[in-house]
């Protein structure tokens, strides 16, 4: 009996500074990302619910691949819902949310231990309400030193992440559906598009100049969303676009790949080693083999999120 062929993907790992090929199911997945700890609810309940949603969306995405166009509003809706989910539901977004809560919590703790009297009042309140055991070690000097050293982290429960993501999802959809969407087609000669572990790329169409950093957002005009769909297709959405499709030359494909690579958290994925990319406008397009030694790819933060390559 012939063995079933396993699809392989090429992986370029920034942190590990290595390139390797692996079965596609081994990448871009985080264990227990959707696991919940709620009494009376199965730990994989949300994971199973999302599997059904993703299955429905994948059928629409596959129709786009087969037809090479947004033939129906339903197919486009599948794509935009997928973009919305990936924009919100990813490790980078969760870490940003967790880090914000940690900074707030540490600031509150600074205030709580500002004086012995304030600390004693908080201890008494927590003990009365059952949050603190009467025999707990509440020594003020120990707690003050602990807080001042700051050697602790604050974790956000997965359930809280999921709740926020689902509440936000409906709010961002109008900003996705309100954009015009172009289906960009890469020629075979170009080597096609790559993707990454953070594939939704929100950039300025014309990066702002001047002092300070202007925050970017889904609802702002003058911004574009770049999203790789398949090696041959990518989508670009902007409020100023009318929609449609067009064929991208090799130079444009390399620039789009540069944007996708710039947004990668850690890893870039490709069908093969035939793609080209450009991370700086002044530089020529480079071959895939150059990526794992490219200093602009290897240095975290060398490529600023929200700014397209070449800016």
pLDDT tens digits along 216-228: 899 999 999 999 9
pLDDT-based confidence at residue 309 (cuts at 50, 70, 90)? very low
Check if the beta carbon of residue 86 is closer than 8 Å to that of residue 53: no
Q: What is the mean pLDDT of residues 230-240?
A: 95
- Tokens standing for 21? 């090929």
Separation between Cα atoms, residue 166 and residue 194, nearest integer Å: 28
pLDDT-based confidence at residue 252 (cuts at 50, 70, 90)? very high
pLDDT higher than threshold 90 for residue 184? yes
Query: pTM of the entire structure?
Result: 0.84
pLDDT digits (tens, 9 = 90+) for 150-165: 888 888 888 989 899 9
Q: What is the mean pLDDT of residues 25-31?
A: 78
Q: Provide the mean pLDDT of the chain.
A: 87
Q: What is the mean pLDDT of residues 249-258?
A: 94
Domain ranges of the chain: 8-37+173-298, 96-149
- Tokens standing for 129? 């309400």
Written as one string, the DSSP assignment of 100-131 is: HHHHHHHHHHHHHTSSHHHHHHHHHHHHHTTS
With a pLDDT cut of 70, the percent of the chain lying above it is 93
Alpha helices in 226-298 (DSSP H): 250-262, 295-298
Residues 6+ apart with CB under 8 A from 171: none
Check if the beta carbon of residue 27 is closer than 8 Å to that of residue 267: yes
pLDDT higher than threshold 80 for residue 4? no
pLDDT-based confidence at residue 212 (cuts at 50, 70, 90)? low
Packing angle, helices 116-128 and 140-149, rounded to 10: 100
Smallest CA-to-CA distance from 186 within 272, 254, 242, 284 is with 254
With vertex at residue 284, the alpha carbon angle to CA 280 and CA 289, rounded to the nearest 5 degrees, is: 95
pLDDT-based confidence at residue 310 (cuts at 50, 70, 90)? very low
Separation between Cα atoms, residue 7 and residue 194, nearest integer Å: 16
pLDDT digits (tens, 9 = 90+) for 279-308: 988 889 999 999 999 998 987 654 444 444
Per-residue pLDDT, 3: 53
pLDDT digits (tens, 9 = 90+) for 45-103: 888 888 888 888 999 999 988 888 887 889 999 999 999 999 999 888 888 888 988 99
Per-residue pLDDT, 107: 92
Per-residue pLDDT, 300: 60
Smallest CA-to-CA distance from 229 within 86, 90, 47 is with 86
Per-residue pLDDT, 21: 93
Per-residue pLDDT, 181: 95
Per-residue pLDDT, 87: 94
Q: What is the mean pLDDT of residues 98-115?
A: 90
Separation between Cα atoms, residue 198 and residue 142, nearest integer Å: 42
Burial of 14 (0-12, 13-18, 19+ CB in 10 A): buried
Check if the beta carbon of residue 276 is closer than 8 Å to that of residue 287: yes
């Amino acid at each position: 009996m012939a063995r079933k062929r396993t699809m392989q993907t090429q992986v370029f790992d920034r942190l590990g500074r290595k390139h390797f090929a692996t079965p596609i199911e081994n990448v871009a997945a985080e264990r227990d990302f959707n696991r919940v700890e709620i009494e009376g609810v199965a730990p994989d309940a949300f994971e199973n619910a999302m599997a059904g949603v993703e299955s429905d969306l994948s059928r629409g995405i596959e129709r786009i691949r087969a037809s090479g166009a947004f033939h129906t509003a339903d197919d486009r809706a599948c794509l935009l819902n997928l973009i919305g989910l990936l924009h919100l539901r990813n490790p980078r977004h969760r870490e940003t949310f967790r880090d914000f809560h940690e900074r707030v919590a540490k600031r509150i703790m600074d205030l709580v231990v500002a004086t012995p009297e304030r600390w004693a009042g908080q201890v008494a309140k927590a003990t009365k309400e059952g949050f603190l055991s009467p025999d707990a070690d509440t020594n003020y000097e120990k707690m003050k030193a602990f807080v001042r050293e700051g050697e602790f982290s604050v974790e956000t429960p997965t359930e809280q992440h999921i709740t926020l993501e689902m509440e936000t999802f409906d709010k961002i959809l109008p900003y996705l559906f309100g954009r015009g969407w172009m289906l960009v087609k890469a020629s075979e000669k170009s080597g096609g598009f790559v993707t990454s572990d953070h594939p939704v790329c929100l950039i300025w169409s014309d990066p702002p100049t001047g002092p300070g950093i202007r925050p970017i957002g889904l609802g702002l005009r003058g911004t574009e969303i770049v999203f790789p769909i398949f090696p041959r297709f990518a989508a670009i959405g902007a409020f100023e676009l009318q929609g449609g499709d067009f064929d991208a030359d090799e130079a444009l494909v390399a620039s789009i790949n540069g944007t996708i690579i710039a947004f990668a958290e850690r890893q870039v994925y490709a069908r093969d080693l035939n793609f080209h990319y450009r991370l700086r406008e002044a530089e020529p397009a480079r071959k895939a083999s150059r990526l794992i030694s490219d200093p602009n790819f290897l240095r975290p933060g060398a490529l600023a999120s929200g700014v397209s390559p070449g800016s």
